[in-house]
Amino acid sequence: EIVLTQSPATLSLSPGDRATLSCRASQSVSNYLAWYQQKPGQAPRLLIYDSSNRATGIPARFSGSGSGTDFTLTIGSLEPEDFAVYYCQQRSNWPITFGQGTRLEIK
Amino acid sequence: EVQLVESGGGLVQSGGSLRLSCAASGFNFSSYWLSWVRQAPGKGLEWVANIHQDGSEKYYVDSVEGRFTISRDNAKNSLYLQMNSLRAEDTAVYYCGTVGWGGYVGLWGQGSLVTVSS
């Protein structure tokens, strides 16, 4: 099973700041990695797929990069609605697995 | 409206059974792989099972293999998860979803809470 480790566990920033979230895989997943955003009481929402492709309707301030074992989600300038929990997910091998999440909170 | 709506969750005793349903509308249901993903209270996400467009392929995470069965009825635009021999650790919100781009959930339901009491 591929283990995804996200860091940091919690990130405290202010609106307008730039956010950088990391996801490291226990073995290569090529570029088969996605990022989701989840707000309290809601289902997750797909932001980025295959490492760097924005899903439909996702603002341009969200960007993804990386390949192999190291991946990054960058939020260019934080809006109030961006404070949430973010998960990475790989589809390279079954079972499909998620990281444990990074909580992005308002400083 | 494009949506998925889960139903069938509730409280069940350990060792019991429950069947979740997921009703789809607003899109071509039979064109998609479908999935169940769960989230224990206050925890992260766990992918539970996948099913092919025609039901011919199914995949399960090890922790539910042999106890859970995923199925679909394309004529009714519905997805199901039959859960048997339930354990306390199966307590979670269960989300149904469409699988696109080879393995990502693009459309999610609102979730259905399953609570297993010991």
Name chain B contacts of A36, Cβ cutoff 8 Å. 45, 105
pLDDT at B106 exceeding the cut of 90: yes
pLDDT at B95 exceeding the cut of 90: yes
Q: What is the pLDDT, as a whole number, of residue B101?
A: 86
Report the residue of A29, A33, A35, A46 to disrupt the B interface, i.e. the one with the largest count of B CBs within 10 Å.
A46
Contact A73, A61 (CB under 8 A): no
pLDDT at B116 exceeding the cut of 90: yes
Give residue B118's pLDDT band: very low, low, confident or very high (50, 70, 90). confident
Question: Does B75 contact chain A (CB < 8 Å)?
Answer: no
Contact A11, A102 (CB under 8 A): yes
The overall longest dimension of chain B from CA atoms, in Å, is: 40
Test B44 with A87 for CB contact under 8 angstroms: yes
By CB atoms closer than 10 A (0-12, 13-18, 19+), residue B44 is: middle
Nearest to A98 among B45, B62, B100 (CB): B45
| pLDDT tens-place string over residues B7-31 | 999 999 999 999 999 999 999 999 9
Cis peptide preceding A80, ω within 30 of 0: no
> Per-residue pLDDT averaged across A2-23, rounded?
98
